[in-house]
Amino acid sequence: MHEEKSPRKIPFLQGFLCLLVVLLASFPSCSFAASRSSATKKKASASSVIFPVSGNVYPKGYYQVTVNIGQPPKPYFLDIDTGSDLTWLQCDAPCAKCTPAPHSPYKPNKNLVTCKDPLCVSLYWPTSHQCESLDQCDYQVEYADRGSSLGVLVQDLFPLRFTNGSISAPRLAFGCGYDQEIPGPNPPYTDGVLGLGTGKSSILSQLNGLGLTRNVIGHCLSVQGGGFLFFGDDLVPSSGIVWTSLSSNSLEKHYSVGPADLFFGGQASGVKGQSIVFDSGSTYNYFNSQAYNAVVSLLKKDINGRKQLQDAVDDKSLPICWKAPKPFKSILDVKSYFKPLALVFTSAKNVQFQLQPEAYLIVTKQGNACLGILNGTEVGIGKFNVIGDISLQDKLVIYDNEKQQIGWASANCNRLPKS
């Protein structure tokens, strides 16, 4: 991880009063009480919100939605991330280190969340945190790819159109990031991250707390690019979804399921009892060293036995690539060369997550097939196995925080729901 940075005092925040009800939960004596009564009125009319998605796994490496924030509302492109809680924007507070982005940095306006605010406290849970300044909530998020954002929590209006026809502009908390580290030669060309994890600071949790949506999200990411994201349960099918329970470990703020056994070509691989994390913020899959080494060994043994493919050592798109006698033209061309993988969940009957070859391989610009499964142990993920966008494509994936379960089904993600 990169060197720890010190939070700094945000100059525009000094001396604001409780009269500024722009803070959702800063002072129990005023704004928090007001927001609670608002939530009570809206509880009965919880609905859903649909966002069109753009992006792809290759070559972009991410999927994004457009979210309008502020008054007047301004559009921001946010990377969809079910692997983290906090939503943040690059922020002119002023900006110490911001990366190129589609829009100008967000400009805060005396709308800080305080250090003692419940949302601020939830960021650090289960550990306690020390307040360097009572009138602002400092945050620092770090990601497995060694990216990070440093900033403060603010609140602003999020205008949303719901599937029941209503329009609302709730005041929600998010990160105002003034110092970002984005690794790699091609960082996402977005304005920030839409954190959709299980923590209380996520936008979904806040909307649910106000009674505007159920605590459910779903996404459908098209292999051709695009798709849709939704908050709430209006679009959850009544049948056809395969469900498995979320991990009962309350300390985890990500969507973890398991245990699962790894199968290759319909046969047990010997890799058992694996913990799985669904993470739309990860382009590729990251398996722990045991699972990763097993997959690579099985693939190479199978490929060598047929002698149709050769290592494409000159293709640096991903660590392991193969070339055929003729270049692959599309991801569908790889199906005849590779066997499917599957994660079979042992705590439920007939529940498995299928990874067809097109769900763990990409076809590069050079026409080679590259393995979209990386060694997670090498990047510090530990025992977990992360399922990223490459294997979430062309599936309707539903994260139901109310029933504590995740579900999926094959789907046509090119078609937006009519509602």
Decide which of 201, 231, 261 is a domain's last residue.
Answer: 231
- Statement to judge: residues 191 and 308 lie in one domain: no
Best mean pLDDT range from 178-192, 245-259, 363-377: 363-377
Does the structure show a pLDDT above 70 at 6?
no
Query: For residue 375, what pLDDT band results from cuts at 50, 70 and 90?
Result: very high
Q: What is the pLDDT at residue 74?
A: 97
Q: What is the pLDDT at residue 14?
A: 26
* Domain-embedded: residue 32: no
Pairing type for strands 373-375 and 285-287 reads parallel
CATH number where 82 lies: 2.40.70.10
- Statement to judge: residues 223 and 260 lie in one domain: no
- Statement to judge: residues 357 and 326 lie in one domain: yes
* Domain-embedded: residue 319: yes
pLDDT in tens, 53-96: 999 999 999 999 999 999 999 999 999 999 999 999 999 989 99
Instruction: Tell me the catalytic residues.
Output: 81, 279
Does the structure show a pLDDT above 50 at 396?
yes
CA distances 341 to 117, 284, 332, Å, are: 45, 15, 16
Decide which of 187, 208, 231 is a domain's last residue.
Answer: 231
Does the structure show a pLDDT above 70 at 43?
no
Residue 106 belongs to domain spanning: 49-231
Average pLDDT over residues 5-24: 31
- Statement to judge: residues 367 and 277 lie in one domain: yes
- Statement to judge: residues 265 and 216 lie in one domain: no
* Domain-embedded: residue 412: no
Read off the tokens for 260.
């699962």
Instruction: State how far the Cα of 299 lies from the Cα of 293, in Å rounded to an integer.
Output: 10
Q: What is the pLDDT at residue 45?
A: 60
- Statement to judge: residues 224 and 323 lie in one domain: no
Average pLDDT over residues 335-361: 94
Does the structure show a pLDDT above 50 at 18?
no
In contact, 148 and 91? CB cutoff 8 Å? no
* Domain-embedded: residue 404: no
* Domain-embedded: residue 15: no
* Domain-embedded: residue 350: yes
- Statement to judge: residues 76 and 219 lie in one domain: yes
Q: Which of residues 293 and 7 earns the better pLDDT score?
A: 293
Does the structure show a pLDDT above 70 at 113?
yes
Does the structure show a pLDDT above 80 at 295?
yes
Asked, as a colleague might, if the bond just before 94 is cis with ω within 30 of 0, I would say yes
Does the structure show a pLDDT above 90 at 122?
no
Best mean pLDDT range from 196-200, 268-272, 302-306: 268-272
* Of 242, 240, 246, nearest in space to 276 by CA: 246
Q: What is the pLDDT at residue 131?
A: 80
Q: Could you give the percent of the chain with pLDDT greater than 90?
A: 72
Does the structure show a pLDDT above 70 at 278?
yes
Q: What is the pLDDT at residue 251?
A: 55
- Statement to judge: residues 220 and 269 lie in one domain: no
Q: What is the pLDDT at residue 415?
A: 86
Please give, one letter per residue, the 3-state secondary structure of the chain. Answer: CCCCCCCCCCHHHCCCCCCCCCCCCCCCCCHHHHHHHHHHHHHHHCECEEEEEEEECCCCCEEEEEEEECCCCEEEEEEEECCCCCCEEEECCCCCECCCCCCCCECCCCCECCCCCHHHHHHHCCCCCCCCCCCCCEEEEECCCCCEEEEEEEEEECCEECCCCCEECCEEEEEEEEEEECCCCCCCCCCEEEECCCCCCCHHHHHHHCCCECCEEEEEECCCCCEEEEECCCCCCCCCCEEEEECCCCCCCCEEEEEEEEEECCEECCCCCEEEEECCCCCCEEECHHHHHHHHHHHHHHHHHHCCCEECCCCCCCCCEEECCCCCCCHHHHHHCCCCEEEEECCCCCCEEEECHHHCEEECCCCCEEECEEECHHHCCCCEEEECHHHHECEEEEEECCCCEEEEEECCCCCCCCC
Does the structure show a pLDDT above 60 at 292?
yes
- Statement to judge: residues 164 and 268 lie in one domain: no
Does the structure show a pLDDT above 90 at 218?
yes
Does the structure show a pLDDT above 70 at 39?
no
- Statement to judge: residues 97 and 144 lie in one domain: yes
What is the overall mean pLDDT for the chain? 86
- Full-prediction pTM beyond 0.85? yes
User: What is the count of structural domains for the chain?
Assistant: 2
- Statement to judge: residues 256 and 381 lie in one domain: yes
Decide which of 196, 231, 266 is a domain's last residue.
Answer: 231
pLDDT in tens, 93-103: 899 999 999 99
Q: Could you give the percent of the chain with pLDDT greater than 70?
A: 88
Query: For residue 28, what pLDDT band results from cuts at 50, 70 and 90?
Result: very low
Q: What is the pLDDT at residue 130?
A: 79
Query: For residue 223, what pLDDT band results from cuts at 50, 70 and 90?
Result: very high
Query: For residue 124, what pLDDT band results from cuts at 50, 70 and 90?
Result: confident
In contact, 399 and 216? CB cutoff 8 Å? yes
* Domain-embedded: residue 255: yes
Does the structure show a pLDDT above 60 at 152?
yes
* Domain-embedded: residue 330: yes
- Statement to judge: residues 212 and 268 lie in one domain: no
pLDDT in tens, 230-266: 999 999 999 999 999 998 765 567 899 989 999 999 9
